[in-house]
């Protein structure tokens, strides 16, 4: 099972459980600490699970292993400490600072990790990916200083870097789809003969509709997970 399916299945499960608990709470007419803690745990599970899967996906692609291990480590540690806080109720300032720092850096790593996963164009990997890392890392670093000093000084710079990091996150799939990802290298032919079946040529054509098949004048789009098989009639 792919990580994407695991993520979607986990998200659907969390949403279903949350809906059932919400229905029970409405029918019961009581929303207490237990229900509040339960919803907080579900939110923590979703956030940590997203970071964990993103880190594992990066490791699976064997790209930026340090970033992948950081994402996995922060996700697991953050989930454990947040769950302990939700159900244990630690009141110390130091504990809240640790949670805040874990959350800040987990989100920063998640932004950079997902940005890298969305990019395949060499030019975007060279330019947009480092820019996203610099903006997210800078924002996390400034937030760390503010948390440790318990001061809001520098929030303007933090906000600017955060906006830039989120902008890069939004632009990544757009630029990948309509920019450098669609440029065909000069040495790649426009058409490629895959084979001949029953006197008919099977040709791969470069273009934007990468998941479509054309038979004569008719064109059909492939669904996720489908592939083309050409057989000669017997």
Local structure of residue 160 (DSSP, 8 states):
H
Q: How confident is the model at residue 181 (pLDDT cuts 50, 70, 90)?
A: very low
What integer pLDDT is reported at residue 102 of this predicted model?
93
What integer pLDDT is reported at residue 49 of this predicted model?
84
Structure tokens at 105: 């850096």
Selection from 1-5, 133-137, 203-207 with the highest mean pLDDT: 133-137
Helix locations, 119-154, DSSP H: 122-149
- Please state the pTM of the whole predicted model: 0.69
- Which bin fits 42, alpha (ψ -120 to 50), beta or left (φ > 0)? alpha
Which range is least confidently modeled, 96-100, 161-165, 228-232?
228-232
Q: Encode pLDDT of 10-61 as tens digits.
A: 667 777 877 787 787 777 776 777 778 888 888 888 888 888 888 888 888 8
What integer pLDDT is reported at residue 21 of this predicted model?
74
Distance CA 168, CA 170 (A): 5
Which range is least confidently modeled, 27-36, 144-153, 179-188?
179-188
Structure tokens at 116: 């890298």
Which range is least confidently modeled, 18-32, 157-171, 210-224?
210-224
| Mean predicted lDDT score pLDDT of the chain | 80
**Better-predicted residue by pLDDT, 105 or 92:** 105
Structure tokens at 206: 């470069």
Q: Encode pLDDT of 187-199 as tens digits.
A: 556 666 766 766 6
Q: How many Å separate Cα 27 from the centre of its chain?
A: 36
What integer pLDDT is reported at residue 233 of this predicted model?
64
Distance CA 208, CA 221 (A): 12
Q: How confident is the model at residue 180 (pLDDT cuts 50, 70, 90)?
A: very low
């Amino acid at each position: 099972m792919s990580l994407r399916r695991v993520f979607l299945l986990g998200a659907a499960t969390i949403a279903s459980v949350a809906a059932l608990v919400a229905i029970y709470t409405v029918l019961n007419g009581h929303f207490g600490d237990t229900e509040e803690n339960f919803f907080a745990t579900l939110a923590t599970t979703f956030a940590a699970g997203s970071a964990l899967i993103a880190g594992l996906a990066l490791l699976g692609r064997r790209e930026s292993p340090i970033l992948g291990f950081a994402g996995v480590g922060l996700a697991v540690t953050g989930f454990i400490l947040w769950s302990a806080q939700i159900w244990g109720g630690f009141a110390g300032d130091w504990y809240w600072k640790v949670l805040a720092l874990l959350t800040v850096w987990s989100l920063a790593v998640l932004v950079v990790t997902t940005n890298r996963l969305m990019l395949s164009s060499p030019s975007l990997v060279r330019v947009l990916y480092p820019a996203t890392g610099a903006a997210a890392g800078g924002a996390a670093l400034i937030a760390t200083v503010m948390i440790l000093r318990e001061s809001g000084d520098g929030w303007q710079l933090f906000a600017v870097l955060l906006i830039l990091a989120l902008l890069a996150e939004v632009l990544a799939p757009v630029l990948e789809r309509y920019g450098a990802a669609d440029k065909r290298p000069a040495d790649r032919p426009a058409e490629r003969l895959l084979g001949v079946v029953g006197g008919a040529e099977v040709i791969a054509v470069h273009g934007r509709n990468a998941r479509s098949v054309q038979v004569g004048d008719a064109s059909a789009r492939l669904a996720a997970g489908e592939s083309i098989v050409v057989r000669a009639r017997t």
